[in-house]
Structure 1
């Protein structure tokens, strides 16, 4: 049970108890008020003093203090002081009280689901979700999926990335009112494990999953190895309208002009800026590499625990950064075809898969990266995406390179120190380049070794998961997916999220790009090599020119060992 679900259950119980007091009048209201306020404040990050807790108990002050003191002695509440000399302490639930409260919420949740949700008594409470109350028109789940689960016990199996979006999707399916699946039907794993498990699943005689998620750049490998089904015809028969997706986003589903998946969410890497700091100092929001460095140096003050930029330069994110920054300088990492708006990843052959890392543009990118390290947080060369986001979330940096899916927490996270103080801009341009907005995200695909009897249900599930209604529901819950024009232009969706408006505007202005990370069959090898060599350059183990040459040579050897269809 996560924090959000716990709070929903507790809020329900709090509202449910009030009528009961009028019936019996014997409930210990004061103890409930104390526990409810203490647990809620702990999860939402608000400090609680003994005076405040006594006040919310509605008991006379002396009686309330004695009640709280008794709970401290019983090991339910603990005092914490910021220092040994501090006179004012805060109160917190102990591990024992937290355990008792969570157990109570779980039992309540199970009872509600049994009565209202059609759940079996023997089903564990962790197998379904206590969702938020529905407002307006509900999202109607596919009737065939519901019927097959209830009458035949058929439950689809999913392999997904372990992130907030897919966790919310799991919760939508396992909501005790939808009754479409149990949480056990969803395997959420780290991105590296997702890749390995996707490959391992393809080697099985029969797939263990009905639907799998793959990172967009993996498409060439999964498609060329025959691990996923071509589903273009199924997509059209399901009613999914490809025209409702931005062309750059829909193109991520295609390898060698064949459609293999549906974009379930897109995320755009942008530059997040502290609008309050920029307005206070009079700096314009950055449009170029030099603008970023100039502003970052002005804000950088490590002695005050303030940094110019939060950045992730561990091996894996560093590879993406290099490819994105190369695109900002007007060059692709591979010799893919040029178009009037950039490059095309369609119909690639061996000629258009040669690396062009060892170049003047590569040197310009490394120069920019060295300067970013100078104004970034300590330990930047070991930082991943979540580490950089956490720095910015705590208000410790003026800027951050961030994916919009992670940036959603800047407004949604209870403990965010930057709420309503963030402006977003497309990635600043480098010399000879433009402001680019690189696309990332995941595709939903059907394994090629799926049990044929399960294919119709998997197709129906995929269509529902990517439907306008389901995507809009996720936007309402704070996820700036917006891969469909009909969602990003929906007044209700736009009104709920600055990021939805921003990403929608990029799409409408045709500023979304998918070519910076070409989905070639050797993408993961390319990502690993670039990450290793560029990391060596930034850490001083190699010169910039040596790192670029080694990356070029290593990738050339890998490509020479492979053959690709024209």
Structure 2
């Protein structure tokens, strides 16, 4: 099939997610008028434009017959309109390819740009009408987010969950400062029903092993297990996770209050298996005071990052240019994948856009993208980083890089926003109010790609259905705007909900909140840097050794990448045998 043309995006503040929601809003707004008002008839032009734009946004090829069907008009009527729109240069015909004489249809640039202008007007008018934003500030309002910008979210209360959840609920969670805070807040509000012993917190590597073991047991030891976002495909495919769609119908969780890409991190093959509890973005932290003092420009590319780090690097005084994850295993594997994302590439051949639901063909049919020129360039960048890093960089993980920067021993640091919050809030921090929070540098001024991470709250499939409903009430409370705002105000700028990002008190609590919110609105946050394919953990483990050998132990980069691909394929064969 011939590749559909990709029309250049109009210069607009609308994201594709927003535009899709506006199309759905307009469709639902018009339908009751057509069916309920005497004398009303369907507007064939209106319906065709909406369905054509929607299909284009969803990258769903559509032919004439399919478009007329979706428009809900007689074929002869729809056919005449489509022929006229083709003649008027509003619809473009794209050959199917493969020797077929039929065509797919897509909007021309003229139609797409004019519709975007109209949709922007609709968004701005609604924002102004409902008091969400002034008309001139409508780009600050995300269409579809269920919030009012001037509304301050009420404090979280314990009686919100009183009597709604079982007293013996058990959690297996990641061991980090966010989950520790959540455990403490839950225990405080639950009093005698909620105890800290109800929570088991484990470091990321141990959490994966424990989750595997507990999911496989015939009876559940835990009611809620947090999983790293890239693990979704593996655990969903194995049938370890309870589907949540039916439970969500009665739960106090509004998916529209989550950024679509974030909500989509919990959706596998059209089924929701996980609820995003927090999201964290990989960014670059810079010592603003040192950059100002030396007249340095904040880096936006790989080369500029190396140059800035060299200018700050003073190893004789135990001060280093940059801190990042160089430790063997998960840390350096994730660094490699994030730097690859900065090249607008990922480890498999897949569309470079965020998914609202993840689905992949059988893995052996997917093409690995590890042994590539981009990957060689990434390793070269990592080797240059080593030259301006602390001497223990090959042992540095998430916690050590934060400690290095927070103690005032590095001028730059790649870091998760969740951990970066400690720069401002921990009493031991030597860099409070001296940090600039920057998007991750790209390669050669390419589009910004800020990788997203975080955890999904899941219910094991072996939990009895009746208990699952009670557990969903607990999850709903934990991911509620009130609970998330409480965490944000306490120094955890990681809320994935629009209502929290719009809350004035939450915005004032940290400069990271608004920075991340703007990245999301500009579609610069990416979920594809670590695609949640079922074999992700296998790939991660192999990259964690091969990339480390190439960066620190002299293994030729091309050989390391070739060996990585060969080992991955061999590992797949072992699993299948």
TM over 0.5, yes or no?
A: yes
Alignment partner, residue 361 of structure 1: 374
CA contact (8 A) 1:257 1:346 kept: yes
- Quote the offset at 1:352 in angstroms: 6.1
Q: State yes or no: 1:171 paired with 2:188.
A: no
1:370 is paired with a residue whose SS is helix
Q: State yes or no: 1:262 paired with 2:275.
A: yes
- Quote the offset at 1:553 in angstroms: 1.2
User: Distance between the aligned counterparts of 1:388 and 1:337, measured in 2?
Assistant: 32
- Closer, same or farther: CA 147–369 of 1 in aligned 2, 3 Å: closer
Q: State yes or no: 1:331 paired with 2:351.
A: no
User: Distance between the aligned counterparts of 1:406 and 1:431, measured in 2?
Assistant: 28
Q: State yes or no: 1:422 paired with 2:435.
A: yes
Q: Deviations over 1:313-365 (max 9, x none)?
A: 00211101111111111211111234xx5788732113663311000001110
1:503 is paired with a residue whose SS is helix
Alignment partner, residue 182 of structure 1: 195
CA contact (8 A) 1:246 1:484 kept: yes
User: Distance between the aligned counterparts of 1:430 and 1:406, measured in 2?
Assistant: 25
User: Distance between the aligned counterparts of 1:390 and 1:403, measured in 2?
Assistant: 13
Q: Deviations over 1:82-111 (max 9, x none)?
A: xxxxxxxxxxxxxxxxxxxxxxxxxxxxxx
User: Superposition pairs for residues 296-335 of structure 1, below 5 Å?
Assistant: 296-315=309-328, 316-335=330-349
Q: 1:286 aligns with which of 289, 299, 306?
A: 299
CA contact (8 A) 2:354 2:527 kept: no
- Closer, same or farther: CA 145–194 of 1 in aligned 2, 3 Å: farther
2:158 is paired with a residue whose SS is coil
User: Distance between the aligned counterparts of 2:347 and 2:244, measured in 1?
Assistant: 29
CA contact (8 A) 1:141 1:464 kept: no
User: Distance between the aligned counterparts of 2:176 and 2:165, measured in 1?
Assistant: 28
Alignment partner, residue 518 of structure 1: 531
User: Distance between the aligned counterparts of 1:254 and 1:311, measured in 2?
Assistant: 30
Point out the structure with max Rg over C-alpha: 1
User: Distance between the aligned counterparts of 1:519 and 1:208, measured in 2?
Assistant: 25
User: Superposition pairs for residues 82-481 of structure 1, below 5 Å?
Assistant: 137-141=154-158, 145-146=162-163, 154-175=167-188, 178-315=191-328, 316-338=330-352, 341=353, 346-350=358-362, 353-431=366-444, 433-481=446-494
User: Which piece of structure 1 moves more, 438-447 or 549-558?
Assistant: 549-558
Q: State yes or no: 1:491 paired with 2:504.
A: yes
1:293 is paired with a residue whose SS is helix
Alignment partner, residue 82 of structure 2: none
User: Distance between the aligned counterparts of 1:167 and 1:453, measured in 2?
Assistant: 28
User: Distance between the aligned counterparts of 2:495 and 2:519, measured in 1?
Assistant: 11
Alignment partner, residue 71 of structure 1: none
User: Distance between the aligned counterparts of 1:422 and 1:352, measured in 2?
Assistant: 45
User: Distance between the aligned counterparts of 1:510 and 1:432, measured in 2?
Assistant: 16
1:175 is paired with a residue whose SS is helix
TM-score by length of 1: 0.72
- RMSD over aligned CA atoms reads 2.0
CA contact (8 A) 2:407 2:429 kept: yes
2:544 is paired with a residue whose SS is helix
- Closer, same or farther: CA 407–144 of 1 in aligned 2, 3 Å: closer
User: Distance between the aligned counterparts of 1:211 and 1:372, measured in 2?
Assistant: 39
Q: Count matched residues.
A: 423
User: Distance between the aligned counterparts of 1:411 and 1:468, measured in 2?
Assistant: 23
User: Distance between the aligned counterparts of 1:236 and 1:142, measured in 2?
Assistant: 22
CA contact (8 A) 1:142 1:460 kept: no
- Quote the offset at 1:167 in angstroms: 0.7
- Quote the offset at 1:556 in angstroms: 2.4
User: Distance between the aligned counterparts of 2:534 and 2:390, measured in 1?
Assistant: 35
User: Distance between the aligned counterparts of 2:164 and 2:436, measured in 1?
Assistant: 46
CA contact (8 A) 1:345 1:519 kept: no
User: Distance between the aligned counterparts of 2:484 and 2:199, measured in 1?
Assistant: 18
